Structure 1
Amino acid sequence: MDSITCIIIDDEELARKRLIRLLKPFEFFQIMAEASNGQEGLDLVEEHKPELIFLDIEMPLLNGFEMLGRLTHQPKVIFTTAYDQYAIKAFEENSVDYLLKPVEKDRLEKSVKKLRLYKTLSPDFASLQSLIDHLKPKKELRTLTVKIGDKILLIKLEDIVHIEAEDKYIFLRTADGNSHLTDFTLAGLEERLPDNFVRIHRGSIINTDKIKEIRKSFNGSLVFLLSDKENTKVSSGRSFSDSLRDRFDI
């Protein structure tokens, strides 16, 4: 295998030294530099323009995602992380890989095999950028805005029982029995809302913290009795029912 120029970017010195030691038997790796934070990594990558970087995610000054977003030179990337939540299937579906720390020899060998497959390819930064955008920590959403004339109301998420589409309009239904027209789409809300909000129908999202009772319907759907002033009942769509039964272990 031809030599591969690389830079190791990790704020933990012991992690960098371990990786260097594990890479030593693979003589084709040419380690050009080490960086102990994202800003230093950014500067070194732009200076040396390596083919590959081993990149930690949680680092001071700039985290791994922020650093990648500022690069003009785009190397191949193998993420190294101690955080298991980042080790998702998406890494394996792009021309990148990840190593869970502490890095193990066998797992590193798999990454090397993957590099052999992708050696002749150009870095797919579009796919990587999409992955970065997907993994960026989301700002915690606590309220949704509703416009009423010249006023803007802030509706607390904890007060929302369910969200419902009627024709082309989307309404936030709150525990006090009120309904608020919002400019959001259901798809947009589904993307932004926290995990306790679940799509149960193409026209409905419910707050699972507000479920009082779940009943099975004769047609295979589920009926959710919600804890609002109206004791609202909302039925799941057929295509959503299987995943909902799994979620609620029904």
Structure 2
Amino acid sequence: MNPTALIADDEPLLRERLRGMLQRLWPELTIVAEARNGREAVELFDEHAPQVVFLDVHMPGLNGVEAARSIARRAQVVFVTAYEQYAVTAFEQGAIDYVVKPFDEERLADTVQRLRQRLGTDGAAPAADDRLEAAIEKMSAELRRQSPAQRQAGWLQWIKASVGNSVRLIPVEQVAYLRSDEKYTLVVWEGGEALIRRTIRELADELDPECFVQVHRSVIVNLHQVAQVVRGPNETADVHIKGRSELLPVSRSYVHVFRHM
């Protein structure tokens, strides 16, 4: 079977350029999906299970470094970045590989050669490698240090919801969790529950990732409202919310969120 890959970058032209280069350098490679952000990358990875993932470091919502936490032990990861310092970190820590934007075809050819060698004849996923996790942790710390303004401003502060005949402004710090309900999203907060006409994906990109984390493709929780996390079989878990009886599922792709808690 031909090797498969996923490309994640929030810039359509850059995705197109990378795809074109890969088609020339690695004709056997099949691009099975393209993602616009890290959250979409994780969802598409779970759907298509590609062997190689090209992850842009800077993307809205869940960035490429955070997405790599879910993907790294199940595929070959290549970080894509316009910032040399992240490439240096990835290289020093022994991460799989990196490509610096704007793309250089000669440099990408080296990456392709290394990927071919790693995949071998069976296309096996990489063995667990603590060096890659160390690179992810260091890159994540650098991202947090270098974008304080983005974390302090621009995140959603209020959620507007219709409650009966009135419109309620819900402070996000009071929200316990959000759960997808077909075309709507259920908002559960200290004062009650309400349905809003917004998708989980839209909200995920607007909420501060230091406080709100996606634990399932249909659930976002406020970390400050989590009472307990109980691990289950097959790398899954359940979240207990403070003062509430229901359990919220944590899927395999998001269980890493609670690994160090």
Q: What is the DSSP-based 3-state SS (H/G/I as helix, E as strand, rest coil) of the residue aligned with 2:94?
A: coil
Could you tell me how far apart the structure 1 residues matched to 2:125 and 2:49 are?
A: 14
The change in CA–CA distance for 1:71 and 1:22 in structure 2 (over 3 A counts) is closer
Moved runs in structure 1, 4+ residues, more than 2 A? 70-73, 89-95, 124-127, 137-140
Q: Which residue of 2 aligns with 1:132?
A: 136
Could you tell me how far apart the structure 2 residues matched to 1:8 and 1:49 are?
A: 12
Q: Which residue of 2 aligns with 1:38?
A: 38
Q: Which residue of 2 aligns with 1:12?
A: 11
Where relative contact order (Cα < 8 A, 6+ residues apart) is larger, the structure is 2
Gaps of 5+ in 1: 141-250
User: Is the radius of gyration larger for structure 1 or structure 2?
Assistant: 1
Gaps of 5+ in 2: 146-261
Partner AA of 1:104 in structure 2: D
Q: Which residue of 2 aligns with 1:149?
A: none
The change in CA–CA distance for 1:92 and 1:28 in structure 2 (over 3 A counts) is farther
Q: Is the contact made by 1:45 and 1:73 (CA closer than 8 Å) also made in structure 2?
A: no
Q: Is the contact made by 1:3 and 1:30 (CA closer than 8 Å) also made in structure 2?
A: yes
Cα RMSD, aligned residues only: 2.2
Q: Is the contact made by 1:11 and 1:60 (CA closer than 8 Å) also made in structure 2?
A: yes
Partner AA of 1:133 in structure 2: E
Offset, 1:64: 0.9
Offset, 1:122: 3.9
Could you tell me how far apart the structure 1 residues matched to 2:115 and 2:95 are?
A: 9
Q: What is the DSSP-based 3-state SS (H/G/I as helix, E as strand, rest coil) of the residue aligned with 1:88?
A: helix
Is 1:50 paired with 2:61? no
Could you tell me how far apart the structure 2 residues matched to 1:68 and 1:106 are?
A: 25
Offset, 1:73: 6.5
Q: What is the DSSP-based 3-state SS (H/G/I as helix, E as strand, rest coil) of the residue aligned with 1:24?
A: helix
- 1:193-212 to structure 2, matched below 5 A, reads none
Offset, 1:118: 1.2
Number of aligned residues: 139
Q: Is the contact made by 1:6 and 1:29 (CA closer than 8 Å) also made in structure 2?
A: yes
Q: Is the contact made by 1:95 and 1:118 (CA closer than 8 Å) also made in structure 2?
A: no
Could you tell me how far apart the structure 1 residues matched to 2:62 and 2:41 are?
A: 9
